[in-house]
Amino acid sequence: MAEEDEGSPNKGFKLLGILDVQRIPCSREAILHGAGGSLAAGMLYFLATSRVRRSFDVGFAGFMITTLGSWFYCRISNAKLRVQQRFLQEGIKNKVVYEGTVLDPTKKPKPEAPSAPP
């Protein structure tokens, strides 16, 4: 049940009161990457142009793009891992069920014995 994971007194940290970065997979990494990307984009633009206000705008755009990119990359990787996990579980189950039978995937086919001469 959910409360068995709530043993620690930590109630989670919610950005803007909605996004629980501690519980949602990939969210913490996405926000941190976004913060880094935002800082980098803003600083680079400012160093290039010395425009303060526009640098903030560029920084914010960098935050959005980096966060989204990191989020989708992480989520797609996790989805691929989950699919692989399901295949593995199915394979382990099949191995246990078919072990010792004709359908055992690990069983090597015996070489056919040469037929006796007439």
Q: Which residues bind another protein (CB under 8 A)?
A: 1-3, 5-6, 15-16, 18-20, 23-27, 30, 53, 56-57, 60, 63-64, 67-68, 71, 75, 79
Beta carbon of residue 116, minimum distance to another protein (angstroms, whole number): 49
Beta carbon of residue 49, minimum distance to another protein (angstroms, whole number): 17
**Rounded distance between C-alpha atoms, residue 93 and residue 69, angstroms:** 36
Whether 75 contacts 85, CB under 8 Å? no
**Rounded distance between C-alpha atoms, residue 49 and residue 111, angstroms:** 76
Among residues 60 and 98, whose Cβ is nearest to another protein? Answer: 60
Query: In the numeric block, which tokens belong to residue 52?
Result: 């303060």
